[in-house]
Amino acid sequence: MRATILGWSAVSGLVLGLIAGLLLFALAVVSGELLAGVIPRLAGRARVALAILSFVLLPLAGTALGWLEGRLKLR
């Protein structure tokens, strides 16, 4: 029972992290297309860095926070 609560809390944090990352990446792509003439060379590098942040770091942070939330639920 305890492992199930921790697991589902971590999975929900992962899903929320993916949603937040997707929204952040979409916002960056749209703003990058609008400002492509202003910063032409930096756009490609910034997209790669933002993709790593959005699809790796934010979901990992969400998973960790979800796991911590599950630990709080079990107290």
Q: How many helices (H) and strands (E) does the chain have?
A: 3, 0
pTM assigned to the model: 0.83
Q: Give the domain ranges of the chain.
A: 2-73
DSSP symbol at 63: H
Give the pLDDT confidence score for residue 63 in this predicted structure.
96
Tens-place pLDDT, residues 29-44: 888 778 777 666 666 7
Give the pLDDT confidence score for residue 1 in this predicted structure.
85
Tens-place pLDDT, residues 6-63: 999 999 999 999 999 999 999 988 887 787 776 666 667 778 888 898 999 999 999 9
What's the rounded Cα separation, in Å, for the pair 5 and 17?
Answer: 18
Give the pLDDT confidence score for residue 31 in this predicted structure.
81
Give the pLDDT confidence score for residue 33 in this predicted structure.
79
